[in-house]
Amino acid sequence: MATVTAPYVVSRTGCLNHHGSARTEAKAGSPLVSLNSQGMTYDGLKSMNKLNMKTTHATNISVSVRSKKSGSDRSVGKIVCETGMTFLFVSAEVGPWSKTGGLGDVLGALPQDWLFVQIDSGKWAPCYDSVSRYDQYRMHGTLVFWWRVETVRYFHCFKRGVDRVFVDHPVFLEKVWGKTQSKLYGPKAGEDYADNQFRFSLLCLAALEAPRVLNLNSNPYFSGPYGEDVVFIANDWHTALLPCYLKSMKLILFVHSWQVAFCIHNIAYQGRFAFADFPLLGLPDEFRSSFDFMDGYDKPVKGRKINWMKAGIIESDRVVTVSPYYAQELVSGEDRGVELDTIIRSVGITGIRNGMDHREWSPKTDRFISIHYDATTVTEAKCLLKQALQAECGLPVDSNIPVIGFIGRLEEQKGSDILFEAISKFIHLDVQIIVLVRNRQKYMEKQIEQLEELYPEKARGIAKFNTPLAHKIIAGADFIVIPSRFEPCGLVQLHAMPYGTVPIVSSTGGLVDTVIEGYTGFHAGAFSVELTSTVIRALTTFGTPVWKEIVQNCMAQDFSWKEPAKLWEKMLLSLGVAGSEPGIEGEEIAPLAKENLPTLEHRDFNEIVNVEERKGTTSLTASAEDFKDWIQDINLLDLLLNDRNFTWFRGRSCSRIDRVLVSLEWVEEFPEIRLRGGPRGLSDHCSMIVEDSRLRDGPRPFRSLDSWFTHEDFFRMVKEE
């Protein structure tokens, strides 16, 4: 078993001046925080990182992976930064495995959507019991705190071009039960687990060790080695200790250039704990001032506290948040900045709008709705989908009645009290409203029951979140209402607009950045939300030419991650990590396939997917299995080749390594396509011909070999060379 031992913690002064003569010994009595040992526990682990990769500087390695057998370069489907710099997301939530709101949704989509700009990325999260153990390999290690020794396991899988690593420990598994995935932080809303500081300290330490001790170079089609050029993206207070631990241990970990960007998804949750708990974090005293915080609240204790988010903001190399307008709000004053506005102003902050997962939220492909549509068929489709929604919810079925939807948590931030107060003032109009709740609380359930009792023909409330119903509301409703008191970015309006569902929103945070008054929606104001008058104003446009134009404007908006990912890349590259450059454009099939575009990729992939495709082969290699997984991960179809078994010939060797991969959208566009082999000519590969049997007219087919005879030097070159 290989061993990595850190005998001391380097003080912050030492790490910040490691190029000079700064002291590297820790103070006497400093807590021991390190990874003590690691071992492989799964037979499927293909290779093991050598010990010297953990104890010395790692060097950049070429993106392409060289085949041991043939020595040929394999750069198929590479989705990496050409220089090897890697961005690692660390979060307490990653959808779809664990999420309580927008944080999980964003972390589920953002890393894999960075592939559109060709950035190598990974994400680290706790291994709750909602996570399946279908990893490629697992590994265990020992994290040594000064007061206890903890063994963790890492579960790793490589999906959609992203390394996903889950940190496995009983403190994560024992706390979460059932399929609601809502007990990540406490047994119920507003109540935290007593050991949350230990849980998320463990996550931060394990996240720092994973890139050093895990073999994350097992897939030859995507991932590159993790070495010196790494940037962590810590998300919200749960991961705020990550920059602190990194600064305290940089010299020990031999990762001088590792840096951390801290992303604020919701500043209302800061991780405030008793000041007496600081020694439990295992950090040198130099960090104490970064955590020191005073507020006027009695929870968790009265008086002086430690504030994890404050420390994360101060100790990180960059601070970013999820929309430009929310960034302005955070520095506007104590109210919007929740007592951290001064700190944020001093370090600076960048606002980048969140995107949405267009693979899940698209009216063209949504698996939860019965009718798919686009901007040309939206009117007819939404009428039918509205009728289906009304019937499912038990409301009178009438497509001429406008339907308003609400999807979210019933809490002060989301303005649920504003909504219920406004309903009584506009419900007398010709309108229906459907409320779908993400969190279950008894007093909120009573409000929903009362709503249905008062307005049985006009209102429905569902107190248990239902993903299929959420999609049906987004598609079938005419309006979506978001009366939030504050909204860092908001995802519901991003989901709704591509479906032609018009948002009615308060004027705060990302709602200001994404909804344009009178063009793509209606604004109800900021501090005093005038929801009733805004709803009435929106209802007066329903069915008019103005309404139809707003619907078309909504559907024309692009809220994918493509542009935000480029802004993220630009911001993180400004950190100046050695060797960092913008992502390469390169040949890449995966981003096109994931954009739901008609896509065809024809090339020599230098790999088989069945044993029948290579003469004399009885089993598939590990790389062949990886190639099969890659095809499935990016949702492509491998066209059948019926007229021959092989496409490559050399002596007695023959294989089928030339393939044509197409997306479902391509098949819909060309349903009668078929693949056949052509002549070999002078090559050791035969040509591949894609035909559409519907096409009969047109000029004679171009004959590629005939063109050579028209070249004046062709016969001379054949004769002489």
Q: Residue 416 sits in a domain of what CATH number? A: 3.40.50.2000
The tokens describing 135, both together, are: 């990893």
Query: Quick one: 287 and 201 in the same domain?
Result: yes
Res 539 pLDDT > 90: yes
DSSP E strand boundaries for 656-720: 658-663, 673-677, 688-692
Backbone angles phi, psi at 695, to 5 degrees: -90, 115
354-365 per-position pLDDT tens digit: 988 887 899 998
Q: Which residue has the higher pLDDT, 278 or 39?
A: 278
Helix (H, G, I), strand (E, B) or coil at 582: coil
* pLDDT at residue number 368: 92
Q: Where does the pLDDT of residue 390 fall: very low under 50, low under 70, confident under 90, or very high at 90 and above?
A: very high
**Average pLDDT of the segment spanning 153-167:** 73
Q: Where does the pLDDT of residue 626 fall: very low under 50, low under 70, confident under 90, or very high at 90 and above?
A: confident
121, β-bridge pairs: 87
Decide if 711 is inside a domain: yes
* pLDDT at residue number 114: 54
* Average pLDDT score over the chain: 75
396-438 per-position pLDDT tens digit: 999 999 999 999 888 888 888 899 889 989 999 999 999 998 7
Decide if 98 is inside a domain: yes
The tokens describing 661, both together, are: 């991969």
* pLDDT at residue number 158: 67
Backbone angles phi, psi at 272, to 5 degrees: -95, 130
Instruction: Give whole-number Cα distances, 95 to 100, 111, 171, in Å.
Output: 9, 11, 20
Q: Where does the pLDDT of residue 630 fall: very low under 50, low under 70, confident under 90, or very high at 90 and above?
A: confident
Q: Which residue has the higher pLDDT, 576 or 208?
A: 208
Res 367 pLDDT > 50: yes
Decide if 1 is inside a domain: no
Query: Quick one: 625 and 526 in the same domain?
Result: no
Query: Quick one: 541 and 615 in the same domain?
Result: no
* pLDDT at residue number 72: 29
**Average pLDDT of the segment spanning 210-221:** 62
Res 533 pLDDT > 80: yes
Decide if 329 is inside a domain: yes
Res 151 pLDDT > 60: yes
Which of 539, 558, 577 is at the close of a domain?
558
Backbone angles phi, psi at 453, to 5 degrees: -65, -40
Query: Quick one: 544 and 669 in the same domain?
Result: no
Query: Quick one: 164 and 246 in the same domain?
Result: yes
* pLDDT at residue number 342: 94
* pLDDT at residue number 328: 95
Distance CA 216, CA 135 (A): 12
Contacts of 570 (CB under 8 A, 6+ apart): 582
**Highest-confidence range of 190-194, 626-630, 686-690, by mean pLDDT?**
686-690
Query: Quick one: 74 and 188 in the same domain?
Result: yes
The model's pTM: 0.68
**Average pLDDT of the segment spanning 237-241:** 93
Query: Quick one: 389 and 245 in the same domain?
Result: no
Decide if 330 is inside a domain: yes
Burial of residue 632 (number of CB atoms within 10 Å: 0-12, 13-18, 19+): exposed
47-70 per-position pLDDT tens digit: 222 222 222 222 222 222 222 222
* pLDDT at residue number 699: 59
* pLDDT at residue number 227: 62
Query: Quick one: 338 and 455 in the same domain?
Result: no
Structural domain boundaries, residue 607? 590-720
Decide if 537 is inside a domain: yes
* pLDDT at residue number 120: 42
Decide if 576 is inside a domain: no
* pLDDT at residue number 318: 94
* pLDDT at residue number 48: 27
Which of 506, 541, 558 is at the close of a domain?
558
Instruction: With beta carbons less than 8 A apart as the criterion, state whether 526 and 484 touch.
Output: no
Decide if 466 is inside a domain: yes
Instruction: With beta carbons less than 8 A apart as the criterion, state whether 460 and 395 touch.
Output: yes
Distance CA 518, CA 28 (A): 65
Instruction: With beta carbons less than 8 A apart as the criterion, state whether 101 and 89 touch.
Output: no
Res 567 pLDDT > 80: yes
Which of 558, 580, 606 is at the close of a domain?
558
Domain count, the chain: 3
DSSP 97: T
Distance CA 575, CA 522 (A): 39
Instruction: Provide the percentage of residues in the chain whose pLDDT is more than 70.
Output: 69
Place of tokens 């526990």: 41
The tokens describing 682, both together, are: 């002078």
Helix 378-393 with 467-476: angle, nearest 10 deg: 130
5-47 per-position pLDDT tens digit: 222 222 223 332 223 333 333 333 333 343 333 333 222 222 2
Q: What type of residue sits at position 112?
A: Q
Place of tokens 């170079």: 217
* pLDDT at residue number 406: 96
Q: Where does the pLDDT of residue 681 fall: very low under 50, low under 70, confident under 90, or very high at 90 and above?
A: confident
Which CATH number belongs to the domain containing residue 693 in this structure?
3.60.10.10
Res 173 pLDDT > 60: yes
Res 599 pLDDT > 50: yes
292-336 per-position pLDDT tens digit: 998 877 777 788 999 999 999 999 999 999 999 999 999 999 889
Query: Quick one: 284 and 426 in the same domain?
Result: no
* pLDDT at residue number 601: 80
632-662 per-position pLDDT tens digit: 666 678 888 878 888 888 888 899 988 888 8
Res 83 pLDDT > 50: no
Q: Which residue has the higher pLDDT, 713 or 443?
A: 713
**Average pLDDT of the segment spanning 518-539:** 90
The tokens describing 133, both together, are: 């153990």
Query: Quick one: 53 and 125 in the same domain?
Result: yes
Query: Quick one: 321 and 391 in the same domain?
Result: no
Distance of CA 583 to the CA centre of its chain: 18
Res 277 pLDDT > 80: yes
Q: Which residue has the higher pLDDT, 179 or 668?
A: 668
